[in-house]
Structure 1
Amino acid sequence: MNNRITENVVTDNVVTDNIIIRAGTESDCDLILDFINKLAEYEKLASEVVATQSQLKKTLFGSKAYAEVIIAELAGNPVGFALYFYNYSTFLAKPGLYLEDLYVLPEARGKKVGKALLIRLAKIALENDCGRFEWSVLDWNQPAIDFYRSIGAIGMEEWTVQRVDGDALSELANKKL
């Protein structure tokens, strides 16, 4: 996944508008963790981050990688990232690409970096015959919602996210029928 992207052109080794999208590497774990922490601060969830560099190294670049990362660079400086993984649609009988996190530094917003990341992810989805490209957004994040609508995303209003984690996950796993 060493393709580079610009807003209008996606080919190997092409750079215009000073935006480069590249695959994250093991040596980026510190940078990835920094982006995760900044995203958590923005989302008012900083207290929930327990990720470490060693955990990222193991789960993103170890023998069993659970997700992948792309890094956005503007004028040679890392300014954003997207972390994604594959899921599966039984209705389509195809894989889907799920965007877990996307973050662009405040000073790089409005410079098409987020759009470049989403375009690259859409290309990755098509390259892997995915039937869907999905993500969640906090309901109070109107700037993000407006941006997503501007690129053609549709809110799944009738769906709600469900989660079991922490003690509740352990309790569920240990329940008897």
Structure 2
Amino acid sequence: MEKSITYFENPGAENTDAVIELVRERLEGSNIKYVAVASSTGASALKLNEALKDLDVTIVNCSHHVGFREPNKAQISAETKTELEEKGIVTFIGSHALSGVGKSISKKFGGVTPVEIIAAVYRTFSQGIKVCAEISIMLADAGLVPVGEEIIAIGGTGSGLDTAAVLTPANMTNVFDMKFHEIIAMPRP
């Protein structure tokens, strides 16, 4: 089997359109039925939906937990969440699988937790690879993407999309059962 990987010189939102096109190309003729996307505001999820609307795939959006940037506030507006739902896209809002309470402990008491080490290892590839792993765990735990079935996960660095991978999600309780099968695109570290 021969596959190609697209590498971007820089991370960030400037790669969003290219990542979406590469994901579309990978989906065409495949048996992949789920696409997980990290879109804190929903803007990238809306762009992705527009590009994939004629394909038979389920798009699931993952946003930051309420309070990520500001207490009691979600980054995705109620209007955008409703717009996504009207297009058949569920948005999950929840705690990060690879930081969560552990990050709070580290901030308060110092040191690092094992989960933060796992996140750091994923970041040695790119922030987007870490995001792909993290959202697949979160969405699997919520029952929104299947465990044991290949999906495409899409993430980024800061804002927008710059990374996409084919992976098999795992639940948090079996996190080491997650398998990355292909990297479609990512920024060079």
Per the normalisation by structure 2, the TM-score is 0.29
Which fold has the larger relative contact order, with Cα–Cα distance below 8 Å and residues 6 or more apart in sequence? 2
Of structures 1 and 2, the larger Rg is shown by 1
The structure that is strand-richer by fraction is 1
Per the normalisation by structure 1, the TM-score is 0.31
